[in-house]
Structure 1
Amino acid sequence: MKRQWLPALALLLLSLFFLWGVTGYPHDAQLPSGTSLEAPSPAHWMGTDNLGVDVYAQVSAGYFRSMGIGLATALCSFLVGGFLGTWAGFSGGRVDLVISFLIQVLLSIPQLPIMIVLGAFLGQSTWNIIWIIAAFSWAPIARQMRAKTRSLRGADYVRLAQLYGGSPWYLIRAHMGRALWPLLAVSALAVVGRAILQESSLAFLGLSDPLARSWGMMIARAIRFPGIYQTAFWTWWLAAPAGALILSTLLLRLLVRGLEQRLDTEG
């Protein structure tokens, strides 16, 4: 049985997660505000790390960085994947062959190793991370848009409008858009969760901006601390960014899954 309440629940929890991220907090995410490795207390809600920097402030800063990168990547994938997929599906012929070949290449190659190489080559810039992740994120969107456009192009009402002189842009906007735009939006939303995981992976490997607070970087610093698992430090220093990463990607996946089910029902 399809759970129609999943999108609403996931959206509610994501909203609460956002409110948690913007909660006013007196401590800085860059500068020490306490002693080294303080346990959670009213002064430091999630304790401090080995440098005395508040963990809650770092997790909150990492939330906005991860979400910002995820949304920027999704926007790039929305534009590139939507345009190329629709163009290929509507045009057919050589255009379809070339774009389909690019899609298959990007979907078949191992992404993370190439991202690591590109990240090491291009440098530790936030925008470089966005471009690298977006370069591998548009292909699934383009594949879905191509398939949907091809199926809609053969519909009787679209062919009739084309016989009456409708331009490609008019046909896509007026007759096919109602079915294409929701699919494109949901597909782009799915990119956000994947981009968060990929950015955290690159940050974990030291390929992200070293001056920015990132969940992946926090996890990397925590697990490299000597004896982290033989002490109670991991219960706040490591568990906090790992839990935020898991929870955010899980909620985004639940939201996307629920919206996909709704599209299937309406389609």
Structure 2
Amino acid sequence: MELKNLTHVSEFFLLGLSDDLELQPLLLGLFLSMYLVAMLGNMLIILTVSSDSRLHTPMYFFLCSLSLVDICFISTTVPKMIEMTHSRVISYGGCLTQMCSLILFGCMDGMLLTVMAYDRFVAICHPLHYSATMNSHLCCFLVLVSFFMSLLESQLHNLMLLQITCCKDVNISNFFCDPSQLLHLACSDTFTNNIVMYFVVAIFGGIPLTGIFCSYYKIVSSILRVPAIGGKYKAFSTCGSHLSVVCLFYGTSIGGYLGSALLPSTSKDVVASVMYTVVTPI
């Protein structure tokens, strides 16, 4: 079999969600609607928080940051998915750009969810010190750290994929360029690349997830000590939506990565990809 370096491959072919031509208009309408809802909803959050001085608090600052990242996150996949009704070809440069952007904003999503969990931990467990602890300097610092850590992870994945060799004609069994899918297409030995990639994912995904678990362990322990039922309900209600997004985002993304580690993308992996790249921003 003829081999060619990945940097010499000019384009890839995205297989998408379905080959059924009758389903294409339905999928186009569905994902276009979801994209518009996600864009409109997140923009309204940003505009509302920006225009109301009463919402200029750390919790809403992080929520605005998350909304901005989600707008970028969903914009890396859905526009190309909509374009796939006409062409499923993506250039090499476009594939790498999409992959780096997806990892950057996906990792930053996870980092910001961790920061928001810490914010709720301070607010519930140390309410008297909340204003002093979550000052504007710390909030900006946490967002900047989240961005640079996410940028580092995306560049590490990019460097790994630049080292592999793959076949001349390649099909990607998904609707976007994913590092694990590109490694499955390689004709050269990718054992080391796989080990490094999943080690990087474990570090950049495991540490934030551990931080969320620790924060919520402290939060739940603190809430259970509250004597009033109304106080418990109020505390849980402030964390409910955040915890739901955490479970959806991490549950589907971890499932997708574990599935692709064992086998090339199946229909279940594609559904998991839709959940964490499209549904979570909504």
TM-score by structure 2 length? 0.34
TM-score by structure 1 length? 0.35
Q: Based on CA coordinates, which of the two structures has the bigger radius of gyration?
A: 1
